[in-house]
Structure 1
Amino acid sequence: MNVTPFPANMSTDPTVDHCKAPNQVTYQTLSWLVIGEFVLGLPLNLSVLYVFVFRFKFWKNKSIFLFNIVVADFLLVACLPAKAYHYQHGYRRSPNNKLCKTMLFMLFLNRGASIAFLITLSIDRYFNVVHLGRRNFVRVLKKSPLVSIVIWLLLLILTIPTMVETFECCNSHGRKHETRFHDVTDTFREIVYFGQIIVPFVILVYCTVRIVNRLRRKTVGEKTKLRRAVCVVMSVVVVFSVCFLPSTVARAVLLSVRLKDWEHAEDVVVQVYDSLMVLSYIDCLLDPLVYCFCNSGFKDAYVATFCPAFLRNRLLNTDFGLGTTTTTTTTTTTSGIREVSLPILAK
């Protein structure tokens, strides 16, 4: 397959990585995987967004954090066609410097937002279960949309290194042509990249262990809410384990190979890393499972809106993750120690 030539205004310095794909077959395959994720993710996230706004009315049901995850996933899906296009034309990234930086900025931002709000939900469940009766600061904060705005602004600040003028599209540590400013920028970007995965994952594991231990010590009558909390944090663990951890490990290996200047090995590791990054994009397909576990009201509203009739009644009467069924037409949303019964919104 012929590769689109590099723009004339780009450097011809062979030490500069122009993001050219090291293997055409690999990136052709990845392009079709990205297209598949887009084809599945676009209608799914549009339907979720519709339910949150018009059927579930997230602002009334105190689900602002969940809605922010929906927004992050939708923005991620919007970037996928460009990724598929570049892979089809033999590039790991766009050869256009401005477009390359914009894409990296969007991917970093949406990834960080998804992780931040998923972890916030897990911390909320942790306080509701392990420290029941104490003042839950997350529960207080999540009622205000200003908190979500602050999180987005903080993520914007942390993502700025991908947009600085000296940032070369695909370069990172280990490039011989790097200046000191390049090195500082790359170092900060890598700290943000690994920090936004490792720190939340440690918090997530801690919350999961504490909640499971609490479940084991509780009596039978108190286990329903605890099982729901376990389902929430375990669903987040699944998202992390499938989407974020593999690509993070591959990134660490890639940096190690570059620092040791193993050029032939780098071509292989780069393909593995990009493949795992494509895998990480299925985050936008897995997050709706988290929504269902977090809030049965959303699950019921979604099922009532989009599921066919022969599945609707069965799904509406099943409370995911609890192993119990209900015979009423209402759904129970658990928040802290208070349970509120919410009717399914009419069509």
Structure 2
Amino acid sequence: MLPEQSENMKMSNWTTPAHGGGGGGGRGGGCPPVGIQLEGLILPPILTIDVILGMLGNVVALWIFCFKLKSWNPNTLFLFNLVIADFLALLSLPLRIDALLKRHWVFGDGMCRINLFLMFSNRSASIALMTVVAIYRYFKVVHPHHRFNRMTKRQAGFVSLFVWLLVISPRVPMLAYNHIKFADNTTQCFFFTSYKEASRAITILVAMHRILTVLEFIVPLAMLIFCSVSISRFLRARQIGKPDKVRKAMRVCTIIVAVFVVCFLPTTVTTIGMWVIRSSRPWDCASFYTFTQLNIVSLGLNFLNSALDPIVYVFSSSMFRKALISSLPRALRCTANDGDGKITTSSTESQVTTQQELKSM
């Protein structure tokens, strides 16, 4: 009985009593730590699938961007930065998988800080850059004469740099604190910790992380939906392009929103659920455990986004798609070209711009 109790009291890489214990700690109570059995069973296979699929797609994407694209535009530059963010996020997962399987962190304090920083900052960068790609497409289609569409590659580089600084700055404090936890002769690397044990600085850092987790979903999702709905209304009102091309354009918008919701909505909902329970029902350990376990599973979906983003690259850039098709064997290349019809150009400048954007979709 004692070894089993000891195992159940081990601290998790992802979930600890911080989520629920902190809320009840101030009232003299709180839930015991969450065991690592469920996490050790569910997360390794999910994260392994994320790494395998993501690495395959993003390595191919990096190869095309670096060696196959002859010319770049702002949209291509934004997509390239999205590849970098996804690639760095995936690189951080093998160490996490190893720690989950061994139930012991063997890579030291420095790698623990870097690992957590890479996971969270590049997840944020991936969300932000996906949003930038959607906004760029919105202006290209709905406002073809806006000066935003005259953005140069140099200006797009500054926009990308600003996005990186915006998402990395809140995560930099992670590098300043030790996240190693010693329990039952094992070493664990995790970000969340008990409010009873944590310093005030760590408590503030954890709270800021949770706020960012929610805002990083709500704000970009609202912008993605707005861009998609606006593009849909504009194309249907103007009846620009052939009906099949309009349907393809809307399919791309739907895919981007669907990928975003599937990958990030579960984490947002479970994070809010833990907030509510901790603040209003700190004694309800059963509900807290339920949301915590759901949160464990949802974390694996976050990085599935990095595996699915290469699909977005194919549909979001005509230059990327052409470079990919030219790299395929001749038989597959002919098949791919058969479905890529030409669009009749309109006489007005506005319709010409929109036709070109439709083609890139």
TM-score class, shorter-chain normalisation, is: 0.7 to 0.9
- Secondary structure at the residue paired with 1:163? helix
Of 69, 75, 96 in structure 2, the residue corresponding to residue 56 of structure 1 is 69
Q: TM-score, normalised by structure 2?
A: 0.75
Shift of 1:45: 1.3
* Correspondence for 2:314: 292
- 2:338, 2:116 → 1: CA distance? 43
- Secondary structure at the residue paired with 2:144? coil
**Aligned 8 A contact 2:10 2:36 in 1:** no
* Correspondence list, 1:1-347, <5 A: 22-57=35-70, 59=72, 63-90=76-103, 97-136=109-148, 139-140=151-152, 143-165=155-177, 169-171=190-192, 175-221=195-241, 227=247, 229-259=249-279, 260-261=281-282, 262-305=284-327, 307-319=328-340, 325-326=341-342, 336-337=353-354, 339=356
**Aligned 8 A contact 1:162 1:189 in 2:** no
* Moved >6 Å (runs of 4+): 13-16, 222-225
Q: TM-score, normalised by structure 1?
A: 0.77
**Aligned 8 A contact 2:58 2:87 in 1:** yes
- 1:225, 1:138 → 2: CA distance? 25
- 1:231, 1:288 → 2: CA distance? 16
Shift of 1:132: 2.7
1:221-257 CA-partner distances (Å, limit 9, x unpaired): 4767755553443222022111111211112112333
Give, as a single letter, the amino acid of the residue that structure 2 aligns with 1:191.
Answer: I
Q: 1:335 to 1:28 in 2, by over 3 A?
A: farther
Higher relative contact order (CA 8 A, sep 6+): 2
- 1:117, 1:210 → 2: CA distance? 19
- 2:91, 2:130 → 1: CA distance? 20
> Where is the helix percentage greater, Structure 1 or Structure 2?
2
Q: Which moved more, 1:132-141 or 1:292-301?
A: 132-141
**Aligned 8 A contact 1:58 1:67 in 2:** no
Give, as a single letter, the amino acid of the residue that structure 2 aligns with 1:315.
Answer: A
1:70-112 CA-partner distances (Å, limit 9, x unpaired): 1111111111211211221237x88955444322211111111
Give, as a single letter, the amino acid of the residue that structure 1 aligns with 2:126.
Answer: S
1:190-244 CA-partner distances (Å, limit 9, x unpaired): 2222222211111111111111111221225476775555344322202211111
Q: 1:94 to 1:279 in 2, by over 3 A?
A: farther
- Secondary structure at the residue paired with 2:192? coil
Q: 1:265 to 1:61 in 2, by over 3 A?
A: closer
**Identity over aligned pairs, percent:** 28
- 1:251, 1:138 → 2: CA distance? 40
